[in-house]
Structure 1
Amino acid sequence: MSLKKIVIDPITRIEGHLRVEVEVDENNVVQDAWASGQLFRGIETILQGRDPRDAGLMAGRICGVCTNSHFRGAITCVEDAYSLKIPKNAEIIRDLMAMALFIQDHVVHFYHLHSLDYVDVTSALKADPKMTSKEAHKYHENPFRNSHAHYEETLKKLDTFVKSGKLGPFANGYWGHGAYKLSAEQNLILISHYLEALKFQTKISKAVAIFGAKTPHPQTLVVGGVTSVADMLNPQRVNDYLFIMKEAQEFIQRAYLPDAKLLAIVYRDEIKAGIGRANGNYMSSGGYSFEGERKLFSDGVIYKHDFENIQDFDPSKITEEVDRAWYDGSTPEQEVKYTDLNSDGSLKTAKNDDKYSWIKAPRYDKQPMETGPLARLLISYSKKNPLIISFVDEFLKETDLELIDLCTSVGRNAARAIESIYVCEYIFKIASELLQNIKYYDTDTWTKYSFETLETQTQGRAFLEVPRGMLSHFINIKDAKIQNYSVIAPTTWNATPKNFDGLRGAYEEGLIGLKIEDREKPLEVLRVIHSFDPCLACAVHVIDAKGKELAKYKTTNVAF
């Protein structure tokens, strides 16, 4: 059998630097795949020797998208190390910030990072505005901004882009590719919402900033709680947050969720064919409790798509290997051990001990796992979490799909949309809980402690469900300084290299068996990879570990 490699480097419309190589047979069917993180992780090195109370400020710089998630992960594992219990109000404020980030991330991912894998922009130019309005009513009784005038305005904007020759975000697409299936009117609906989502993300960012002081890189999270007590006690600030979230809920109900249904109906054949399905191992640490013991997300582990037998999540079963990542696994420090590419520029992957990625290989009970919105949905639904059941059932009924059908590229998009709508429901419940606490004079937002009296040698950990999946932070403290620090991000799990076990991670496994129509335009590969919402900045970072100067730049100030 004659095999040929297709290389996509870099994968665009993601956070960070990712290279994917697939090996296809004479029929262009993928037989093997390799996902390679292309920059070195180094934030853990920066943190060594620092004051544990500063961990959040630095870990929050791991990524420019997931800043709040890493900030919270860092301070939570420090609190775990020192057995500090934060006030309920502080937990609620942290959750309100996190939930706003969930919604922002999911909407931005679908429209601005992933939708153009399914939406043919040039086809939308041929749409009839009146027919577009009629088409939108198939997916919601009151579609978002569904008027002839609005669609005519959107067409004019697109036409201006095309005639100017400056396509901006719509440049370099595989327009006209045979894998596109949406009608001209369906394309126009999604392009319309693409443009509206640009406004949406600016508004939702303000919601995070209300309690975080700014975004990205919030400043109000501290070991022991939060510092935004003045915002919590200001009725106008809380009302501003709730108003933004109410607008977000409307957009999700009338645009995002209907668009996910549209996509699932049109691409039903690909869903039923299992396109993008990985190995069936799913994991969630659960969390976001309210009203006593109730949790937004259930914890658990699924093996091989067995939804009937959910195992308990056990952090002690997590390991992280480096056999096929660019590190020296023979040393406890796992020092950098980069190997050059092949002479033709391809990754070294021929042998079982070839290293080909900066991403380490986490395993749960020796198995690669998929984490993210789909994992949370499958586990929470299968464990009969009452908060999610009705949302999943409604989506499956309206699209005539089964639970297993969500375990696909299109299904991952559906899972995010479903998660977004029930996260909105949760936001108003916990905001109500916060207001009740204030009403009865509970205004604590910080647990007082004396750092000098805390243990000088200890360790802590944090497991959080964040937009892209399960995030874990680990800290070892010695002599009141950070001795070791480690982060395993969602993308580290999903984009794991094969390791010596030969087992593929979710990215690589999801590509196996994929039929590529045009080797020069591997749109199908992008669909699978983008469905995971890659964040390589969370999985790998760039820094010279020995403190060498990387580059020097000189700028000139110009007055305008």
Structure 2
Amino acid sequence: MVQVTVDPLSRIEGHYRINTEVSADGVITDAQSNGLVFRGFERSLQKHDPRDAVLFTMRICGVCPVCHSIAAANAMDDLFGVADQIPKDALVMRNIHQAMNYIASHAAHIYVLWGPDLANPAYHDILAKYGDVGNAVWGELSGRFMPIVNQFNGVRYPAGSSYVAALGEFRRLHKGIAIIGGKMPHTVLQHVGGVVYSPTVADIGKLISTVSETAKFVESFTLGVSPETWIENTYKASSPEKAVNFVIGRLQELLNNSLKNNNFSLSSGWGDVPLFAAFGSELIGETLLGLPVSLKLDRAGGYKDPDKIGFLSYGVFFKPENGDGYDPTSPADSKVIPSGYMNGHFQLEKFDYRKISENITHAFYLDQEMDRPPWNGVTNPEGNPDEIDYTRGSESRYSWVKAPHYGGIPCEVGPLARLLIMKEPLITGLANTFQENGYSPANNYTRMVARMQEVLIMISELLKWLRQDLQAGGKVAVHTDLSMAKSSEGMGLWEAPRGALGHWVATDSDSMATLYQAVVPSTWNLAPRNGQGIPSPVEQALIGTKISAAENALGVDYANPLGILHTARSYDPCLACAVHTIDKTGKHPDSIIKIV
């Protein structure tokens, strides 16, 4: 048995360590997911005016601040008792604000954080064995996804074309968000009772132009066909089978034209999604399309025991047709992407927020109760440095991340969970196809395809909200005052780009916050074990995965553990969100921490 530790895991948001035990034949047999930093947002909000949370919690993360501001605003709506009165245009504004951040965040993950692993030198050596086809595919992977500075085997590679182009789109979308948010990151749009700005006709026109330009990028780089064509045949397909058949048919058509001359370029129709869809999967690429080689990403990052994993969505994006107001408990029919819980056997259940709880058995926190629901949560960090040790193994405490569970079961959250629960045709069809062929339906391949598909869905929905549902100069807020929050409780359920995000708040008789708890996506995905010893989603996905590229195709390489890197990064880790600084000097008590 060999211990392989990645510390820190790079190209993520935050500070993260993964420790694994690997067998002699290169299979991961145990894993610990370590959040490395304790932060104090939950404690810092106590004794504050609760309305500060809308601005304050955005500082949890600079990549996805919008989701925190909306989750906090939703919690304030509930706390102040006005959730059922929020004007429709304010809800549409929240949709638009969030969807643009979704696209930007997903683009950053796909192209800048996760994508460069597709240009790992191990794939050069694997693909080179397959002659002209392999060399052509490597040329496309390295030519598109190579990061800005990269050199190996004495060769310095230029940054990938898709990588560089995605940076420009990320900037464009941030500028678009700033049109309505004032700035980005850490916008100033959201507030209890709605939003603080009503867009003009010119603002809406600028936003449509921004999203339309991003759609052009998607057509040129991502798909190789128009987003409308893709969406019409996948997201809007009449059945999962038709959605999968469209994609397989499109890939087969591209292959029929390209295998003659080994041309897999953008100009021949091979967008980044088709290239990944064909060559990323053993089942799709080798079995169904007859390719000689694939990266076998569908063999890694899956779940072995369906009784110990679930998929969770709180629901996101208000339905404009429902008009003013919303239900803070987030019933499935109130959101464009619905709430729901799907167990490991892919049976869907109605979402019930009362089943959410966090466990600290394997985390560096102190409490007489090991398991608490977030509306009764406690964030009391371990203060003895001798007890902060990440190396004692799976039976010990080893992370600053708590372990959330839903009815006792750890849950994957994020694009794959959302689209499975939504019964989105393409992702549902792919999951069925993998399951029927003996693969885990949730794996590194399907996780990334779901994130790609969600970008396309968001573009489609965004343009509809902007063109049809948002009224320039409309009513965007209802009146509130602090007295309305006296001795109250609030809950804000939302979905960050990375998955289910919940904020919980309670106040005293002076309307000041006495409790604030945030359970964020990377808390769900990257937790340690829970009180029953069940590993978190990422730990389960690592156990059984082979450590090296393409199922150890070149043998076991502990120095280049692509199995760990692909799997952990497939969840788009955001440890800045998942771990909640503490001042042990006592010079800066929680109650006087201010944002300046």
For normalisation by structure 2, the TM-score amounts to: 0.75
Counterparts in 2 of 1:370-409, with a 5 A limit? 370-381=412-423, 388-389=424-425, 391-392=426-427, 407-409=442-444
What residue in structure 2 maps to residue 475 of structure 1? 505
Offset, 1:480 = 0.6
Mean Cα deviation higher: 416-425 or 81-90: 81-90
Matches within 5 A, 1:525-536: 525-536=564-575
What's 1:139 paired with?
A: none
2:336 is paired with a residue whose SS is strand
Change (3 A) 1:30 1:395: closer
Distance 1:205 1:174, change over 3 A: farther
Q: Which residue of 2 aligns with 1:83?
A: 81
Q: 1:56 to 1:297 in 2, by over 3 A?
A: same
Superposed displacement of residue 210, structure 1 = 1.0
Q: Deviations over 1:451-500 (max 9, x none)?
A: 33x14101010110120000000001112100010000000000111133
Between the aligned partners of 1:431 and 1:175, the Cα distance in structure 2 is: 50
Equivalent pair of 1:339/1:355 in contact (CA under 8 Å): no
1:489–1:333 distance in 2 versus 1, CA, 3 Å:
closer
Which one of the candidate residues 178, 187, 200 is aligned to 2:169?
200
Q: Does 1:422 align with 2:457?
A: yes
Instruction: Confirm or deny that 1:451 pairs with 2:464.
Output: no
Are the equivalent residues in 2 in contact too, given 1:265–1:399 (CA < 8 A)? no
- 1:397 deviates by 12
- Assess if the C-alpha contact under 8 Å between 2:280 and 2:298 holds in 1: no
Matched, 1:433 2:475: no
- Give the CA deviation at 1:170: 3.2
Determine the C-alpha separation between the residues in 1 that align with 2:403 and 2:153.
33
Instruction: Measure, in 2, the Cα distance between the counterparts of 1:433 and 1:301.
Output: 31
Q: 1:375 to 1:529 in 2, by over 3 A?
A: same
Shift, 1:209, TM fit: 0.8
What is the CA-CA distance between 1:549 and the residue it aligns to? 7.0
Q: Which amino acid aligns with 1:419?
A: E
Secondary structure of 2:412 counterpart: coil
Aligned position for 1:249: 215
Distance 1:25 1:95, change over 3 A: same
**What amino acid is the match of 2:569?**
H
Q: Which residue of 1 aligns with 2:528?
A: 497
Residue 287 of structure 1 pairs with residue 285 of structure 2? no
Closer, same or farther: CA 70–363 of 1 in aligned 2, 3 Å: same
Question: Do residues 215 (structure 1) and 184 (structure 2) align?
Answer: yes
Matched, 1:277 2:308: no
CA distance in 2, matches of 1:393, 1:238: 34
Contact 2:361 2:531 in 1 (8 A): yes
The reply on whether 1:337 has 2:382 as its aligned counterpart is yes
1:271/1:408 contact within 8 Å kept: no
**2:585 & 2:68 partners in 1: Cα distance?**
24
Deviation at 1:362, TM superposition (A): 0.7
Query: For residues 511 and 412 of structure 1, what CA distance do their matches in structure 2 show?
Result: 14
The two structures, once aligned, show a CA RMSD in angstroms of 3.5
The 10-residue stretch of structure 1 (505-514 or 249-258) with the greater mean CA deviation from structure 2: 249-258
**Structure 2 counterparts to residues 137-148 of structure 1, below 5 A:** none
Kept in 2: contact 1:321–1:329 (CA 8 A): no
Gaps of 5+ in 1: 137-147, 159-166, 177-186, 382-387, 551-560
After superposition, residues 283-322 of structure 1 pair within 5 angstroms as 283-288=312-317, 289-292=319-322, 295-304=335-344, 306-307=345-346, 309-322=347-360
Runs of 4 or more consecutive aligned structure 1 residues displaced over 3 Å after TM superposition: 120-124, 167-176, 270-274, 292-295, 331-334, 338-343, 391-406, 545-550
Q: Deviations over 1:277-336 (max 9, x none)?
A: 1354101111312333574212211111x23x2011110001111111000121774421
Instruction: Summarize the Cα distance change of 1:34–1:399 in structure 2 as closer, same or farther, 3 Å threshold.
Output: closer
Aligned positions of 1:259-270 closer than 5 A: 259-269=272-282
SS at structure 2 position matched to 1:6: strand
Deviations 1:119-149 (A, max 9, x none): 247989x99xxx99x989xxxxxxxxxxx9x
List alignment gaps of at least 5 residues for structure 2: 224-270, 283-294, 323-332, 370-376, 548-555, 590-596
**Structure 1 stretch displaced more, 295-304 or 215-224:** 295-304
The correspondence for 1:226, drawn from 192, 195, 204, is: 195
CA deviation map 1:8-28 (0-9, x unaligned): 110000000000000011222
Q: After the TM superposition, which residues 352-367 of structure 1 pair with which residues of structure 2 at under 5 Å, given as runs?
A: 352=395, 354-367=396-409
The 2-side partners of 1:347 and 1:520 are apart by 19
Matches within 5 A, 1:19-98: 19-84=17-82, 85-98=85-98
Q: Write the letter of the residue equivalent to 1:275.
A: A
The one-letter amino acid of 2:313's match is: S
Counterpart-to-counterpart distance in 2, 1:260 and 1:63: 28
Deviation at 1:448, TM superposition (A): 1.3
Give % identity.
30
Gap change, CA 1:483 and 1:466, over 3 Å in 2 = same
Contact 1:252 1:417 in 2 (8 A): no
**Structure 2: distance between partners of 1:286 and 1:245:** 23
| 2:358 alignment partner AA | E
Evaluate the alpha carbon distance shift between residue 272 and residue 172 of structure 1 in structure 2; reply closer, same or farther with a 3 A threshold: closer
Q: Does 1:522 align with 2:561?
A: yes
Match of residue 411 from structure 2: 369
Q: 1:405: Cα distance to partner?
A: 6.0
1:123-138, aligned counterparts within 5 Å? none
**SS of 2:185's equivalent?**
coil
TM-score, normalised relative to structure 1: 0.79
Identify the residue that residue 247 of structure 2 maps to in structure 1. none
Residue 347, structure 1, aligned to residue 386, structure 2? no
Q: Could you tell me how far 1:547 is from its partner in structure 2?
A: 3.7
1:36/1:356 contact within 8 Å kept = yes
Aligned residues: 489
Shift of 1:538: 0.3
